Amino acid sequence: MASRLNPYISFNGDAREAMEFYKSVFGGTLALNTFGEFGQEGAGSDKIMHAMLETDEGYTVMGSDTPPGMPYNPGDNITVSLSGDNGDVLRGYWEKLSSSGNVSMPLEKQMWGDEFGACVDKFGINWVVNISTQQS
């Protein structure tokens, strides 16, 4: 898979509705995963942990509900996402973006099997990097 760069939008509990709206605007295929699918029980388990809309025009929009306990700040709720399976290239981007910024989640293996990290670069831009586990 080639690496991709796309927006990642945080929502205040209405990610499902928003992503379904974007699908009605742009068309394409929408995949939704809830927090409950990854083991969270109780309140919020039906909220969206990750959504990805891939359109026929080649656009990708990702999003999620802001987890409980994390701040939701309109205007500061869009992140740039870098993802793919070229680990060396993506780790290089991560090093450059995070070295002079602030790391909020180190780039490391996550419960879904991929390497993932989050940072804010020196200009205040939010970035996430996800390195997919190659399927054999």
Percent of the chain past pLDDT 70, that is, above it, reads: 97
Does the pLDDT at position 136 exceed 60?
no
Residues 44 and 10 sit within 8 Å (Cβ to Cβ): no
Output the average pLDDT for the chain: 89
Which residues on neighbouring strands pair with residue 84, listed in sequence order? 131
123 or 33, which is more confident?
Answer: 33
Per-residue pLDDT, averaged over 51-63, amounts to 92
Give yes or no for residue 122 having a pLDDT over 90. no
pTM: 0.71
What pLDDT, on the 0 to 100 scale, is given for residue 135? 59
Stretch (H or E) spanning 62: strand 60-65
Q: In what order do the strands lie in the sheet with 115-120?
A: 29-34, 48-54, 60-65, 4-11, 78-84, 126-131, 115-120, 102-109
